[in-house]
């Protein structure tokens, strides 16, 4: 059994400015559920920034990362859901799930925090032959 980890930090005001200038970009990055959840909050961009950081951290943990060419739909394959007690969980599908399967990931965990103008997310993946 081993651990894969990824961390990412996002400037809330930068994401906000970007999404206000290009509203259509939100649906390229966030799933419908994520948008519904975040835009119902008093400070939606704080929550969106935390989710973006979580997606990036998850891609980093899997050694994927963004290519810089085009608009990577892998971001849509990772969904942050508010679990019981409010602790966030990661749901993965599609190519991200496949990449995780190849690296024998059996557990996805995420932790998100905000302070001032920054949101940070840390993703830890448990992987191995016999882990549960």
Partner 1 sequence: MKQNLIAEQRVMEEVKKAIAEGIDIDPGRIKPESSLMKDLGAESLDFLDINYRLEQTFGIKMARRTVIDHIEELFGEESAIDSDGKLTGKAVDVLAMRYDGYGDKIHAGMDMDELPVLVTVSSLAEGVESLLDTLPEKCSCGAQEWKLEDETRIVCGACSEPASFTSGDELIEEWLKQVQEDKKIF
Chain contacts with partner 1 (rule: CB under 8 A): 10, 14-15, 18, 22, 24-25, 28-29, 52, 56, 60, 62-74, 95, 102-103
Structure tokens, 73: 């739909």
Which residue lies nearer to partner 1 by CB, 24 or 86?
24
Phi and psi torsions of 26, nearest 5°: -60, -40
Name the strand (E) or helix (H) holding 91: strand 88-92
- Quote the least distance from Cβ 18 to partner 1, whole Å: 5
Residue 80 CA to residue 102 CA, distance in Å, equals: 21
Tokens, residue 13:
């005001």
Q: How far is the CB of 26 from partner 1 (least distance, A)?
A: 10
- Minimal distance in Å, beta carbon 24 to partner 1? 7
Choice between 86 and 116, CB closer to partner 1 = 116
């Amino acid at each position: 059994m081993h651990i894969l980890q990824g961390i990412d930090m996002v400037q809330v005001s930068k994401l906000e400015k970007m999404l206000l200038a290009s509203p259509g970009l939100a649906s390229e990055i966030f799933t419908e559920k994520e948008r519904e959840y975040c835009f119902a909050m008093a400070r939606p961009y704080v929550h969106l920034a935390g989710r973006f950081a979580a997606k990036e951290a998850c891609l980093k943990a899997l050694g994927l990362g963004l290519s810089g060419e085009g608009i990577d739909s892998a971001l849509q394959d990772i969904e942050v859901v508010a679990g019981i007690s409010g602790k966030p969980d990661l749901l993965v599908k599609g190519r991200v799930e496949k990449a995780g399967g190849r690296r024998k990931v059996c557990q996805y965990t995420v932790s998100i925090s905000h302070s001032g103008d920054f949101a940070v997310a840390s993703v830890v993946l448990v992987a191995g032959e016999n882990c549960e």
